[in-house]
């Protein structure tokens, strides 16, 4: 059984394991106040061309999301998100458990637009019953989205502009950011992210780390109190240096970028095979997740050798997600491609 069901099926990239191993018996202070976190933060600031950014490391994506939002919002504020946003549908109400509503906007291909955000923020400001409704206090996007699509620079610039005009911070969930950065249709760089977002995170869990996300506060003022929130929410790792070590490996010799490209390249092979075979794509994804509609028969035949993520019945068959990652082996993809052809 070859697994294409997710991008967190393996451990860590060998380079990451190597550095964890070689530093294993170093003695460092705890809770992220160690030289490795310092170094990794510095490497990330450089990669983002953001010398003033503040970088904090947390264990996972749900943690990153709930902690950033809980730390920044006032009690009567909520988070604007696409109705398909991870925080809205896949985190068991993690944000609400911190007391905050998610203000869900209709999406297209997993994306929301600057116009929608503008309308949402303006409607609040113009409301005559302002005390009865939740104030939009942060705007949350994912790059890439849940469906593997990417925001393009013009789109992100427009959303960023709206947010700043209304004084609302923009927060981008980059759990799979490497796979957006490497997409063939991507035109957004890490420095663009730091320039346009107030807060974003660089995902490690799904891109070569055992675990870990680097939360970048491009607008430093939003980091105020964040370490208290980390500790309070159970997100401050005792051996915080493990995160610093891993991200130091990721941001050395372009490993992060290379892993992104590896996964995307393989995903494009799969996408091409699906298209050739006439298997309809459900979204036009340029990243490591490919969503397609397989007939029951196609799915049954491929499921004998491969595991995918099955999103249930849709018109024309089943909605299947095929997911590559930094760890996917080229020969496995080649075999899958061949088997798709032979369906």
As measured in angstroms, the least distance from the Cβ of 89 to a copy of itself is 7
Q: Which is nearer to a copy of itself, 225 or 316 (CB)?
A: 225
As measured in angstroms, the least distance from the Cβ of 195 to a copy of itself is 28
As measured in angstroms, the least distance from the Cβ of 40 to a copy of itself is 16
Q: Which is nearer to a copy of itself, 161 or 299 (CB)?
A: 299
As measured in angstroms, the least distance from the Cβ of 8 to a copy of itself is 4
As measured in angstroms, the least distance from the Cβ of 306 to a copy of itself is 11
Q: Which is nearer to a copy of itself, 48 or 215 (CB)?
A: 215
Q: Which is nearer to a copy of itself, 66 or 80 (CB)?
A: 66
Say how far apart CA 194 and CA 49 lie, in whole Å: 8
CB 216 within 8 A of CB 48: yes
Residues with Cβ < 8 Å from 127, sequence gap 6 or more? 133
Say how far apart CA 180 and CA 203 lie, in whole Å: 11
Give which of 136, 71, 60, 75 is closest to 103, Cα–Cα: 136
Bridge partners, 213 (sequence order):
58, 203
As measured in angstroms, the least distance from the Cβ of 84 to a copy of itself is 13
Q: Which is nearer to a copy of itself, 129 or 342 (CB)?
A: 129
Q: Which is nearer to a copy of itself, 47 or 327 (CB)?
A: 327
Q: Which is nearer to a copy of itself, 49 or 224 (CB)?
A: 224
Burial of 109 (0-12, 13-18, 19+ CB in 10 A): middle
Tell me if residue 66 falls in helix, strand or coil: helix
As measured in angstroms, the least distance from the Cβ of 198 to a copy of itself is 18
State phi, psi for 321 to the nearest 5 degrees: -105, 125
Rg (CA), the chain: 20
Give which of 58, 40, 25 is closest to 240, Cα–Cα: 58
CA–centroid distance for 244 within its chain: 19
């Amino acid at each position: 059984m070859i697994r294409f069901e997710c991008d967190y099926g393996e451990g860590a990239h060998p380079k990451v394991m190597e550095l964890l191993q070689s530093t294993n018996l170093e003695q460092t202070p705890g809770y992220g106040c160690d030289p490795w976190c310092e170094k990794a933060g510095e490497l990330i600031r450089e990669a983002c061309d953001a010398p003033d950014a503040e970088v904090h490391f947390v264990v996972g994506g749900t943690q990153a999301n709930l902690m950033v939002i809980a730390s920044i919002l006032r009690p009567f504020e909520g988070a604007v998100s696409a109705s398909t946003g991870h925080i809205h549908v896949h985190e068991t109400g993690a944000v609400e458990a911190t007391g905050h509503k998610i203000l869900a906007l209709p999406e297209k291909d997993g994306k929301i637009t600057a116009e929608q955000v503008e309308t949402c923020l303006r409607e609040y400001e113009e409301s005559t019953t302002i005390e009865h409704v939740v104030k939009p206090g942060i705007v949350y996007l994912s790059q890439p989205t849940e469906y593997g699509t990417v925001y393009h620079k013009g789109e992100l610039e427009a959303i960023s502009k709206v947010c700043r005009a209304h004084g609302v911070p923009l927060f981008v969930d980059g759990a799979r950011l490497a796979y957006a950065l490497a997409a063939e249709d991507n035109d957004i760089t890490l420095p663009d992210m730091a320039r346009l977002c107030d807060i974003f995170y660089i995902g490690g869990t799904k891109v070569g780390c055992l675990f870990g996300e680097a939360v970048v506060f491009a607008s430093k003022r939003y980091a105020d109190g964040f370490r208290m929130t980390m500790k309070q929410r159970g997100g401050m790792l005792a051996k915080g240096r493990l995160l610093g070590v891993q991200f130091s490996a990721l941001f050395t010799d372009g490993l992060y970028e290379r892993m992104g490209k590896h996964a995307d390249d393989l995903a494009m092979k799969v996408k091409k095979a699906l298209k050739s075979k006439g298997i309809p794509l459900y979204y036009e994804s340029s990243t490591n997740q490919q969503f397609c509609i397989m007939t029951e028969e196609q799915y049954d035949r491929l499921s004998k050798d491969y595991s995918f993520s099955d999103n249930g019945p849709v018109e024309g068959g089943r909605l299947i997600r095929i997911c590559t990652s930094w760890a996917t082996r080229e020969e496995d993809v080649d075999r899958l491609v061949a088997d798709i052809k032979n369906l």
